[in-house]
Amino acid sequence: MSDRLSSAASLAVRHAGAYVDLIQSDLDLTSRLLRARALAAAVMAFALLQAVALGCVWIIAAAWDTPLRMPTIAALVGLFLVVAGAAFWKFRSLDASAPPLLSQTTREWSKDRQLLEELLARGARAEAP
């Protein structure tokens, strides 16, 4: 009995170490990806903001001395609201397809739990008279 308990404890310690490595791998992968995405998004957002601002100034300047000045500004505001709504919808849909945090670790825990349940069931049958 003590040999079995000793081997089970040894197995548990090894698995705990493996879980720590797996969790660290999950977090490293996620943080690396997140940093790259954030940098690319920041550069893209800044460049797009500059282009849109200059485009708006150009359009408003072209319509300034005409009776269409206010409708032009209203149309630009409406366009930006539509674009913001579409971006918000896309942002919300990205969360739905993202894998959950620590998905690899959860999958491995599930496998190990099943294996331990099988081992415990075999041990209980072997010890039964």
pLDDT digits (tens, 9 = 90+) for 77-115: 999 999 999 989 988 887 776 677 777 777 877 887 787
The CA–CA distances, whole Å, from 121 to 114, 117, 127 equal: 11, 6, 10
Q: What is the pLDDT of residues 8-47, one digit of tens each?
A: 667 777 777 777 777 788 777 778 788 888 899 999 999 9
**Cβ atoms of residues 23 and 105 within 8 Å:** yes
Other Cβ atoms within 10 Å of 45 Cβ, number = 10
Q: What letter represents residue 111's amino acid?
A: K
CA distance 50 to 60: 15
Domain locations in the chain? 2-63+99-127
pTM (predicted TM-score): 0.48
Of 125, 126, 108, nearest to 21 by C-alpha is: 108
**Cβ atoms of residues 72 and 59 within 8 Å:** yes
